[in-house]
Amino acid sequence: MAKKISKQMITGKSFEFALLKEFEEKLSVKTSVEVIANNALKIAQDCFFKLEGTEQSRYKLSASFAVNFLMDVEPRLSNGIDENDVLQLEILSDHQGQLGDVRDVVAIRLVQKWEIGVSAKNNHKAVKHQRLSDILDFGDKWLNEACSQAYFDEIGDIFSYLRKIKKESASTTWKSLGNFHIDILKPVLSAFKKELLRIHSINPRQTSEKLVEFLIGSKDFYKVIQTKKAVDIQAFNLRGSLNKPFNTILPKYITPLVKLPTEILDVSFIEGRNNTLIVTLDNEWSFSFRLHNASSRVEPSLKFDVTLLTSPKTLFKNTLLMPKVTES
């Protein structure tokens, strides 16, 4: 049986395809372009053609606005050294995101040893959806510092309880457990908070930097967020690899280097909310960590919805207002 494709996946992949096609169309008249054919491209293309005509037109227009702007801030997109300097365009697989590379569409020049990437978002601003359970070591995966046995002991009974419920009846719902926000989510989140601060006490700078790099992305990128009224573009230039000139051709706009944090200042529950922590770091970074049940039925795994609340003022942001689209 074919796996059901969610509406969120269709819209997200469609926007990736629209961006790639706009890159190809606009840049092929300026330089040699090669589109890498892979399974991710096929999936994105299939999703795009599931959209209604008006939606396709809106996605194309949003992508066109975004690509025009990116061409202005990245001169190497349009300019090659010679005929051998081919610009390769590729849609990355979701597996890359699991490894920390959040970019969806990349443009690569092998001759120049240069590349940029775009994270394409359709109408949402969440930065990470990460699982949490008693068999997942968030410290090792996120922060390069393993969680303690005390942490696993603290959450172990809760997840063993959830595992037992699922084994007895796979149809048991979270709602049937009563106030699981207080009985399950809050104690797990409290244990997470305690362990995050313990790891931070060992090496504050490494923990802070790794946390932001894990949540934001392991490579510099542009985030392009499409809504019905606008296209928001943000430049996560954490390592200085974005906004490079090509010989004497300079970018039309500057996307400054964004400083990583050096320490966690505070980790606190939102008042009246048993499932959400606010993590505040220096250099103006802060995140919301909302822990929730990933499905309506009980399973021994929970999920974070992490949102970037504040970021350094040097994080380049630009909003492109969109005209209303009508089907031709």
pLDDT tens string 116-156: 999 998 876 667 778 999 999 999 999 999 999 999 999 99
Structural domain contains residue 73: yes
Claim to verify: residue 150 and residue 245 sit in the same structural domain: no
pLDDT at residue 326, rounded to an integer: 56
**Which pLDDT band, with edges at 50, 70 and 90, does 15 fall under?**
very high
2 located within any domain: no
187 lies in the same domain as 227: no
Instruction: Give the C-alpha distances (Å, rounded to integers) separating 292 from 175, 201, 300.
Output: 12, 27, 12
Decide if 328 is inside a domain. Answer: no
What's the pLDDT band for 310 if we cut at 50, 70, 90? very high
Q: Is residue 181 part of a domain?
A: yes
Query: What's the average model confidence in pLDDT over 41-64?
Result: 96
| Predicted local distance difference test score (pLDDT) of residue 300 | 94
Please report, for residues 69, 175, 191, 294, 328, the alpha-carbon distance to residue 185 in angstroms, rounded to integers and kept in the order given. 43, 13, 10, 12, 50
**Whole-number Å distance between alpha carbons of 70 and 82:** 22
pTM, entire model = 0.88
pLDDT digits (tens, 9 = 90+) for 253-304: 999 999 999 999 999 999 999 999 999 999 999 999 999 998 899 999 999 9
Q: How far apart are the first and last CA of the chain?
A: 37
pLDDT averaged over the chain? Answer: 93
Mean pLDDT lowest among 56-65, 119-128, 155-164, 165-174: 119-128
Does residue 315 register a pLDDT over 80?
yes
36 and 61 assigned to the same domain: yes
In the 8-state DSSP scheme, what is residue 100? T
* pLDDT at 80 > cutoff 80: yes
Rounded Cα distance between 174 and 297, Å, is 6
Q: Assess whether 145 and 192 both reside in one domain.
A: yes
Query: What confidence tens digit (pLDDT) does each residue in 233-266 have?
Result: 999 999 999 999 999 999 999 999 999 999 999 9
Residue 1 pLDDT: 35
SS3 178: coil
Buried b (16+ CB within 10 A) or exposed e, 161-199: ebbebbeeeeeeebeebeebbeebbbebbebbbebbebb
Residue 83 and residue 221 in one domain: yes
Q: Are residues 114 and 223 in the same domain?
A: yes
- The reply to whether 204 and 236 lie within a common domain is no
Compute the distance between CA of residue 233 and CA of residue 54 in angstroms, rounded to an integer.
Answer: 23
Q: Three-state SS for 319?
A: strand
Residue 4 has pLDDT above 80, yes or no: no
The confidence band for 328, taking pLDDT boundaries of 50, 70 and 90, is very low
224 pLDDT band (50/70/90 cuts)?
Answer: very high
With respect to residue 274, please indicate whether it lies within any of the assigned structural domains: yes
113: alpha, beta or left? (left if phi > 0; alpha if psi -120 to 50): left
- Report d(CA 280, CA 208) in Å as an integer: 10
Shared domain for 90 and 44, answered yes or no, is yes
- Region 82-88: mean pLDDT is 96
Edge-to-edge, what's the strand order for the sheet holding 33-35?
A: 33-35, 87-91, 105-109, 114-122, 221-226, 230-236, 316-321
Q: Are residues 114 and 86 in contact, defined by beta-carbon separation less than 8 angstroms?
A: no
pLDDT greater than 70 at residue 105: yes
Same domain, 230 and 95: yes
94-108, 128-142, 188-202, 206-220: which is most confident: 188-202
In a domain, 140, yes or no: yes
Residue type, position 318, single letter:
N
pLDDT of residue 186 exceeding 60: yes
What total number of domains does the chain contain? 2
Count other C-beta atoms under 10 Å from residue 286's C-beta.
Answer: 16
Kindly state the percentage of the chain with pLDDT values over 90. Answer: 86
Q: What is the mean pLDDT of residues 78-87?
A: 96
Residue 28 has pLDDT above 90, yes or no: yes
Nearest to 20 by CA among 3, 37, 1: 37
Say if 201 falls within a structural domain: yes
Choice between 6 and 186, residue whose per-residue pLDDT is larger: 186
Q: Based on the fold, state whether residues 41 and 103 are members of the same structural domain.
A: yes
Q: Strands 114-122 and 316-321, how do they pair?
A: unpaired
Domain that holds residue 175: 127-212+260-310
Percent of all residues in the chain with a pLDDT value above 70, rounded to a whole number: 95
Token representation of residue 280: 């505040």
The confidence score (pLDDT) of residue 99 equals 67
Length of the chain: 328
DSSP 170: T
Tell me, what DSSP letter sits at residue 325?
P
In a domain, 149, yes or no: yes
Q: How many Å apart are CA 75 and CA 318, to the nearest integer?
A: 18
Quote the CA–CA distance of 67 and 231 in Å, as a whole number: 11
Cα-based torsion angle of the residue sequence 160, 97, 244, 227 in order, rounded to the nearest 10 degrees: -100
The verdict on 280 and 197 lying in the same domain is yes
Residues 233 and 303 in one domain: no
**Phi first, then psi: what are they for 303, rounded to 5°?**
-140, 140
